């Protein structure tokens, strides 16, 4: 069983936070952050980043996927406590914040399950016929 790659976990967690907060910042500057479409975009960005970062791991068990998701969430929450809360004191009370973080935890598990299914679906010992 492979151990957690802490460098990747931390870098990916910081990148998730930076990229999603960049989107939030852009929407805030255009005074669009209170509209539903920008909120959905930020949620989708968090989910997509989690998906692509989970694909980056060659071997990923369900437990490891959950651990990476938790690490990414912990990093995002810590950075939000340090930085983001200064700009939005209600950040932790929003549905989009909770949904985005739920995706960050769930999507790596889905990716790990899909990878697990891929490896078990390959028939072993079958000769290819021409």
pTM here is 0.85
For residue 87, the model assigns a pLDDT of: 86
For residue 130, the model assigns a pLDDT of: 44
CB-based contact 57:50 (threshold 8 Å)? no
Cβ–Cβ contacts within 10 Å for residue 71, how many?
18
Does residue 106 or residue 34 have the better pLDDT?
106
> Could you tell me the residue range of the domain that residue 35 belongs to?
6-117
Q: Is the model's pLDDT at 124 over the cut of 60?
A: no
130 assigned to some structural domain = no
51 assigned to some structural domain = yes
Q: Is the model's pLDDT at 9 over the cut of 70?
A: yes
122 assigned to some structural domain = no
pLDDT digits (tens, 9 = 90+) for 69-90: 999 999 999 999 999 999 888 8
Q: Name the token pair of 88.
A: 């939005």
Q: Is the model's pLDDT at 125 over the cut of 80?
A: no
pLDDT digits (tens, 9 = 90+) for 18-73: 999 999 999 989 998 889 999 999 999 999 999 999 999 888 899 999 999 999 99
Count up the domains in the chain and report the number.
Answer: 1
26 assigned to some structural domain = yes
Instruction: Tell me the CA distances in angstroms from 110 to 27, 34, 69, 81, 103, one per residue in order.
Output: 29, 30, 11, 28, 10
* Helical H segments across the chain, by residue range: 6-29, 36-55, 62-82, 95-121
Cβ–Cβ contacts within 10 Å for residue 125, how many?
4
For residue 69, the model assigns a pLDDT of: 96
Res. 93 pLDDT band, cuts 50 70 90: very high
49 assigned to some structural domain = yes
CB-based contact 53:110 (threshold 8 Å)? no
């Amino acid at each position: 069983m492979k151990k957690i790659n802490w460098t990747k976990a931390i870098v990916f967690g910081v990148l998730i936070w930076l990229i999603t907060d960049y989107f939030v910042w852009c929407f805030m500057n255009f005074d669009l952050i209170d509209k539903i479409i920008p909120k959905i975009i930020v949620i989708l960005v968090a989910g997509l980043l989690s998906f692509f970062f989970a694909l980056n791991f060659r071997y990923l068990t369900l437990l490891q996927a959950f651990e990476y998701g938790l690490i990414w969430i912990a990093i995002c929450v810590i950075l939000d406590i340090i930085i983001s809360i200064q700009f939005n004191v209600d950040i932790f009370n929003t549905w989009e914040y909770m949904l985005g973080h739920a995706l960050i935890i769930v999507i790596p598990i889905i990716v790990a399950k899909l990878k697990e299914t891929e490896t078990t679906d390959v028939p072993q010992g079958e000769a290819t016929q021409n």
